[in-house]
Amino acid sequence: MNEQQLREEGRSMNEQQLRAKIDRFAAEYVRQLFAGKIDAPGPSDCWGCYLVADTGEHPLGSDCVLGHIEEKYYVPSLLLRALKAEGASQAAKHAAAYHLRLAGLQATRPVSNGAVRKDIILALRKFCLKECGLKA
Ligand SMILES: [Zn+2]
Residues with CB under 5 A from ligand 1 (ion): 46, 48-49, 64
| Residue 136 counted as domain residue | no
Distance CA(127)–CA(44), nearest Å, equals 21
Distance CA(34)–CA(60), nearest Å, equals 29
| Residue 88 counted as domain residue | yes
Q: How far is the CA of 110 from the centre of ligand 1 (A)?
A: 26
pTM of the model: 0.86
Q: How far is the CA of 65 from the centre of ligand 1 (A)?
A: 5
Residue 84, CA distances (Å) to 7, 68, 75, 96 in order = 36, 18, 15, 11
Position 130 pLDDT exceeds 90? yes
Q: How far is the CA of 107 from the centre of ligand 1 (A)?
A: 28
Q: How far is the CA of 50 from the centre of ligand 1 (A)?
A: 7
Tally of structural domains, the chain: 1
| Residue 58 counted as domain residue | yes
Report pLDDT for 13.
Answer: 76
Q: How far is the CA of 112 from the centre of ligand 1 (A)?
A: 26
Q: How far is the CA of 5 from the centre of ligand 1 (A)?
A: 34
Q: How far is the CA of 81 from the centre of ligand 1 (A)?
A: 10
Which domain does 59 fall in, by range?
3-131
Q: Which pLDDT tens digit goes with each residue over 62-72?
A: 689 999 999 99
| Residue 81 counted as domain residue | yes
Report pLDDT for 136.
Answer: 86
Distance CA(91)–CA(119), nearest Å, equals 9
* Percent of all residues in the chain with a pLDDT value above 90, rounded to a whole number: 57
Q: Which pLDDT tens digit goes with each residue over 19-45?
A: 999 999 999 999 999 999 999 998 889
Distance CA(104)–CA(18), nearest Å, equals 36
